[in-house]
A and B are shown apart, each in its own frame.
Chain A
Amino acid sequence: MRILGGSDAEEPASIRPYLKASSLSPSGDTPNKASNVGSEASGAQLRPFVLTSGRVTADPEIGLETQVTAGSRGGRVPTSRLSPELRAIVTLCAQPISVAEISARLKLHLGVVKILVGDLRATGYLDVHNHDVSSPNSPELILRVIRGLSAIV
């Protein structure tokens, strides 16, 4: 995994065995029977459905701009038992970051990132900050954006 080459260096230098997380993410198994999905995706090292264990449905609450941060476990608990993709996502989320930015920086498909972020939220590594996108944007919020944008020179 070329794109993840730098992530090892960002891990703590040595992790004592007893500190290692015992739980695996739900996406442990690699389904081989799903290979009838289609031809290989160009440019990706692994087919997307392998990374997501064949799942194609992400939480609809997770949008492109949805903000993700390291969860209660993310900061301290070693992520060495996670797959390289999951570990790279957790590393990126040390600061608030959008789902789209995770996808761009790790060169992972958006759909894949959404599913993996959902997994990491379920296992406590990440917090996903959903906002109510079903309600229309309020005039107050739009005015706030207008004020901020107007200040740009």
Chain B
Amino acid sequence: MDSVPLSDRTASAPGSKPPLPVKIVIAGGFGVGKTTTVGAISDIAPLTTEAEMTEVAVGIDIPGQHSTKTTTTVAMDFGSVAIDAGVKLYLFGTPGQSRFGFMWDDLARGALGALVVVDSSRLDDCYPAVDYFEHTGIPFIVGVNAFDGLLAQDLAAVRWALAIDDQVPVVAFDARDRRSVRDTLLVLLNRALHKAIGEQVAAT
């Protein structure tokens, strides 16, 4: 991650118009393939940003009070995709722990939707994420990462085990494969589109 040489920076006009940023949250438990998912489609190698629990404690803890949580680090991997000349899509991968509540709200605010990545052999990892997105009303789908093309359980069993709404798509995908990730994100975006159109109709 070397920074761009100065000559390259000055080549493009400073103050060039920034793109309109949109974002999708990639959620799930540890080791389910979130970073792989981001890396498969991102234009840049995934970057990692770290926030200590002090970050999470912003707005929650009373200032000045002693906190014992400051050494816990939340690492977030993210990438981006240039959609067109004016829109840039950010993909934020986030750990699935419910105790990082503040982090999630910050992350999810304004998101187009969320992809909850699931390892079909460890379904319980994704419950906090499913709960969170059901609760906040953010459009989401469940993507079962098919490690080596194998699913430990079929999709109907995953849907049953997670007890999610019939309208929430559950798809199998390969987190390593660019097209597979693209198609999975398109399923999510179509879900988000239906929801947005529905809200627009309801508002008129």
Contacts and interface: CB of A to CB of B under 8 A. Distances in A.
Given A100-B49, A142-B196, A152 B112 contact: no
B92 A100 contact: yes
A152 B22 contact: no
B17 to A, nearest CB: 8
B15 A70 contact: yes
Top 9 A-B residue pairs of the complex, sorted by shortest distance between their CB atoms: A148-B83, A133-B110, A96-B18, A67-B18, A38-B70, A104-B47, A111-B55, A65-B21, A103-B49
Interface of B: 1, 3-4, 6, 9-10, 12, 14-23, 41, 47-52, 54-55, 57-59, 63-64, 66-71, 73, 76, 78, 80-84, 87, 89-90, 92, 106-107, 109-110, 112, 178-179, 182, 185-186, 189-190, 192-193, 196-197, 199-200
A102 to B, nearest CB: 9
Contacts, number: 181
Interface in A117-137: 127, 129, 131, 133-134, 136-137
Interface string A25-65: 00000000000111101111000110000001110000111
A84 interface: no
Given A75-B15, A142-B189, A63 B109 contact: yes
A81 interface: no
Contact of A149 (B6, B70, B81): B81
Contacts of A6: 3
B102 to A, nearest CB: 10
A149 B83 contact: yes
Interface string A99-120: 0110111010111000000000
Give the residue among A44, A67, A137, A147 with the most B Cβ atoms within 10 A: A137
B193 A143 contact: yes
A38 B41 CA distance: 39
Interface residues of A, number: 61
A127 B18 CA distance: 10
Nearest to A6: B3
Contacts of B3: 6, 10, 91-92, 105
Contacts of A152: 41, 81, 178-179, 182
A64 B92 contact: yes
